[in-house]
Amino acid sequence: MENLNLILPEIFISLSIMFLLILGVFKKDSSKITVNLSLFAILITTIITINETFSVNRETIFNGSIVIDQMSSLMKIITLIGGFLVLVISSTYLKTFKLYNIEYPILILSSILGMMVMISSNDLIVFYMGLELQSLALYVLATYNRDQLKSSEAGLKYFVLSALSSGLLLYGCSLVYGFSGSTNFDIISNQLNSNEYVLTFGIVFILVGLAFKISAVPFHMWAPDVYEGSPTTVTLFFTIVPKIAALTVFIRFLYVPFLNLIDQWQMIIIFLSISSMIFGAVAAIGQTNIKRLIAYSSISHIGYTLAGLATATNEGIQSSIIYISIYVVMNLALFSCLLMLRRKDQYYEDIDDLSGLSKNHPLLSLCLLLILFSLAGIPPLAGFFAKFYVFKAVLEQSMYFLAIVGLLSTVVAAFYYLRIIKIIYFDKEKDKYDTDHSLWLKFSLTVSTILILFYFIFPSPLIDVVSRINII
């Protein structure tokens, strides 16, 4: 008998989804209760995850197709907390656009379930199932504001491109299966050796598919449009939660089945990393819409995360995970600010709408200032440490070129973050925004900003947790 306790979180969340679906169908006006119950379900799942899996070092179940280890439990917890916060701060926005329906929490729950499966997957088929589950939920979420043309366009675009990338991914998986004779990562890892020429194609296809999912350059084209078109709360979800799952899968693919083929993929990752860092920084300069700008900035942040992965060391993996954790907090804070730009049921998302914000909303501007400097990687804010750990790992492997290019592109990136700060602090003020925000929104902004600002005082806890992750 398998130890089902290990996948108790997944089981619990699937049962909740089914229950909520039935509840939503049979009970009228149940959107509020669905949202609350979903939050509750996520909370319980988080507690179960911490309880059941956090102390597990590494165990596999179902013939090794699902793996529970330190990385999977940490990433699941981050995913769940991210999902919880997204859901909890969305309500005002959704009500404004009359989107406060039962589907929204259920879709978010399903995509979280998909991600949890992805994170734990140790098998090509399980991985693909999780991926598709989360993607399908995300397609619908992107079009969620269906009365708006842009939202429908975003969803369609995301669907077409993502389906294409899934196709590539699947093709790569089939090639790998053809060469190794198994779909299990551990077995593949034993079977593969780098002499087989066609195998490289398989790896490349898989990497391309994964690069699509995390929107690394040159497979980033969908990101700006989708981020701009989707409802803001969904964009928030897009920028943080799926990235965590995709990164975990990236790590697992590179370091479990393909570790022996490091010569084949290391250059690819370095290329993806460098091009994302540079392109994300340069392309963001000309943007006028904050959500588009965030899309480009998230591309460049993914570049830094990949830089850690390119090192092929445990330190590198750990630094990437630290990076993505800090990035999640920063993005959450940034979007909380964005959701506060509301004036009489209208949300503002152009950079010019921030003009002179510091006169009327000094506290909000101060938060934005800290968040933006942190995103730019200026010490002593958390964003600096994220970059610091990554480059520490990169330099350990003497990859000077990667480190120098990465740090130089932070200077370019600093320009557009400074531009927003300039608009907030140096420009003429506009009308006041509403200040009656929901408590949760204020809470998430306060907590995330405090984390960003004071991370430098206690950097150790995060490092301690992450340093238990040893994949290689």
Partner 1 sequence: MNFPILSSLILLPIVGALFLFFTKDKEGNNLTAKYVALFTTIVNFLISIYLWIAFEQSTSSFQFIEDRIWIEGFINYKVGIDGISILFIILTTFITPLCVISVNNSVKNRLRDFLIAILIMESFMIGVFCALDLVVFYLFFEAGLIPMFLIIGIWGGTRRVYSAFKFFLYTLLGSVLMLVAIISIYWITGTTDVVKLYEIGIDVKYQNLLWLAFFSSFAVKTPMWPVHTWLPDAHVEAPTAGSVLLAAILLKMAGYGFIRFSLGLFPVASETFTPLVYVLSVIAIIFTSLIALMQEDMKKLIAYSSVAHMGFVTLGIFTLQQQGIEGSIIQMISHGLVSAALFLTVGVVYDRMHSRLISTYGGLVSVIPKYSILFMIFALASLGLPGTSGFIGEFLILMGAFKDNFLVAVIASLGVILGAAYMLWLYKRVVFGKLINEDLKKIVDLNRSEYFVLSCLAAPILFYGFYPDPLINTIEVSVTDLISMHETNLASK
Residues contributing to the site for partner 1 (CB under 8 A)? 362, 369, 373, 378-380, 384, 388, 391-392, 395-396, 398, 400, 403-404, 407-408, 410-411, 414-415, 418, 421-422, 425-426, 456, 459-460, 463-464
Count of beta carbons in the 10 Å neighbourhood of residue 181: 10
Asked if residue 231 has a cis previous peptide bond (ω within 30° of 0), the answer is no
Q: How far apart are CB 284 and partner 1 at their closest, in Å?
A: 15
- Looking at beta carbons only, is 19 or 456 nearer to partner 1? 456
- For the bound state, the minimum distance from the C-beta of residue 301 to partner 1, rounded and expressed in Å, comes to 17
Return the number of the residue (244 or 309) whose C-beta is nearest partner 1. 309
Say whether the peptide bond before residue 218 is cis (omega within 30 degrees of 0): yes
Q: Which is nearer to partner 1, 13 or 421 (CB)?
A: 421
Nearer to partner 1, 128 or 391 (CB): 391
Measured CA angle at 75 (ends 130, 250), to 5 deg? 60
Nearest to 106 by CA among 41, 163, 157, 44: 41
Q: How far apart are CA 298 and CA 43, in angstroms?
A: 27
| Nearer to partner 1 among residue 293 and residue 393 (C-beta) | 393
Q: Which is nearer to partner 1, 137 or 402 (CB)?
A: 402
Could you tell me the smallest distance in angstroms from the CB atom of residue 5 to partner 1?
A: 32
With contact defined as beta carbons under 8 Å apart, do 290 and 356 qualify?
no
Beta carbon of residue 330, minimum distance to partner 1 (angstroms, whole number): 16
Q: Say how many C-beta atoms besides its own lie within 10 A of residue 358's C-beta.
A: 21
The C-alpha atoms of residue 105 and residue 103 are separated, in whole angstroms, by 6
Could you identify the residue written with the tokens 């608009």? 423
Kindly state the smallest distance separating residue 360's Cβ from partner 1, in Å.
13
CB of 387 to partner 1, least distance (A): 9
Nearer to partner 1, 64 or 459 (CB): 459
Q: At its nearest, how many Å lie between partner 1 and the CB of residue 101?
A: 42
Nearest distance from C-beta of residue 215 to partner 1, angstroms? 25
Closer to partner 1 by CB, 404 or 472: give it.
404
